[in-house]
A and B are shown apart, each in its own frame.
Chain A
Amino acid sequence: MSSAEPIQKDEAHQAAKSSDNVPMIEVNNLRKFYGPVEALRGISFQVGRGEIVGFLGPNGAGKTTTMKILTGYISATAGTYRVAGHDGYSESLELREKIGYLPENAPLYPDMGVTEYLEFVCRIRRIPKNEWSARIASIIQRCGLSAMAHKDIGDLSKGYRQRVGLAQAMIHEPPILILDEPTSGLDPNQIVEIRNLIKELGKDRTIILSTHNLPEVQMTCTRMIIIADGRKVADGTAEELQQAGEDARFITSIRLPDNTTAEEVIQQLEALNGVAKVENMPSPAGHFRAALTANGDTDLSDEIFQCVTSKEWALTELRRDIVDLEKVFHKLTQY
């Protein structure tokens, strides 16, 4: 018996490994009409375990519609989706068991107390009754609701109601969380707390969150999907999106030797392979600073480094310039 154990463990390990490759959320060509209005025009994407995906897009782009379809509130006009391996149409109940959902504006029952409401959710979520008090205590503590536990939800501020919404989404420890604008209406301190909570949760589960707040996506999400006018216009990490479609830009600074002028340096740099443009940037006396734009996505750093060292100039700065995410967003969502 004991000799079989390591093999079983190994198999279990492999099974766990292979399930990591199965996407937790799989959306294929989802379309949705509201009457004659086409809200989703064929959206496809996948989200794997442990990913925190930010859904971005202008108002009316289809973020909320996509989330409502994924959680089983409304159905798509066409297309298929699977969540945690469950088909969105034939296994809707099983699918909903695996999801914790926070709808926009956290619509809760204002006449219920916080603890009373969480007990209601425990009952619906089939959590054994002897675990209720421990679960509720732990979720109240994690969501920073300790001072509010005995108040009525209707008496809470927007930020605290949002936290109760998060608490109800997480109390059954679902593998997938879908959060529609989880930080809207919160003050900056609360935003940081909720963000950290989401990051911590994202370590062992899959999270999709929608937001208008670009810095939030950069700070919280491992990947972002940008939707505009019912279509997916971008999908990747912040770095990937920042680089996509833009000519690469490099910033370099050099300490000038006494006998060299900035013009000479510019000439040298312009002569380099793959350089499209050299822009002189303001710099302290005796220094030279410039932004070099490449033809396309070429990495110029080697060229620049070799040029500068061959002249025996002192290189003080050389880095790839990061494009402002807001510019990327603006460019992608204009139509």
Chain B
Amino acid sequence: MRNIWAIGRREFSSYFNSAIAYIAITVFLVLVGICVFYADDFLDNNEATLRPFLSWVPLLFIFFLPAVTMRLISEEKKTGSLEMLITMPIRDVELVLGKLLGAFMFLLMTLALTLVYPVLIDYLGPLDWGTVIGGYLGLILLGLAYLGVGVMTSCWTKNQIVAFILALLICAVLYFIDWVVGTLAGSWGEVFAHFSFKAHFDNIAKGVLDTRDIIFYLSVVILTITISTFSLESRRWT
């Protein structure tokens, strides 16, 4: 546990050692604002709702979160510092969990900053804070699953950009899988809907808190952590 915390802490604080994190958060918040208030005629609809927010943030996350995770392990592979970290008394799974924790803290901080939008909307008209809580819980779970995918692809390559693109593709496919496959294969769409990030997110965002949705996201996180750990361990297989 202490190793996970040590690595998570270091990762979280290293986000702020360069200006990139500040720029990324600012751009993300501005984009969310533009999408929420302008893309769907929100201001003309005359309804105080979090719906546009909850439909846009998952899409923006597909770009934003892979950018958060891309360097986590790939950069250490490239510079060689991974060797230093791995030869310390740390289990490979602790290393992966620590990296994920660092990115997760960054996600929580970003989400906390987006609270400015529900507050703004509430100022325009009364907002149902129950849906806000449900929506944020959904975003946290969805975001964590995206981060898991990002950590996993970051384990696969030395190249941050490759890690970013792979994570983005996987997240996009998983988000839209029911829509993509559903139109093509009819009844198969129902099967694939079970693997869709979007379908599970929509359930939670509607305020329907079903353990199946929560278990789904946690399963994705556990799966990506497992694959990441195996990827790291693969250096020992000869």
Contact = CB atoms under 8 A, between A and B. Distances in A.
A73 B83 contact: yes
Contacts of A32: 238
B79 A72 contact: no
Interface in A86-125: 93-94, 96-97, 99, 101, 103-105, 107-112, 120-121, 123-125
B194 interface: no
B86 interface: yes
Interface in B78-99: 79-81, 83-84, 86-91
A71 B238 contact: no
Interface in B4-48: 5-7, 9-10, 14, 17-18
A interface SS class:
loop
B164 to A, nearest CB: 19
Interface residues of A, number: 33
A77 B238 contact: yes
A124 B238 contact: no
Nearest to A117: B10
A71 B87 contact: yes
A124 B83 contact: no
A4 B84 CA distance: 47
B192 to A, nearest CB: 39
Nearest to A111: B17
A79 to B, nearest CB: 12
Contact of A109 (B2, B81, B90): B81
Contact of B88 (A68, A76, A105, A125): A125
Contacts of B235: 73-74
A168 interface: yes
A226 to B, nearest CB: 25
Q: Which 9 A-B pairs have the closest CB atoms?
A: A107-B80, A111-B17, A123-B6, A75-B236, A71-B87, A107-B81, A96-B89, A97-B89, A101-B87
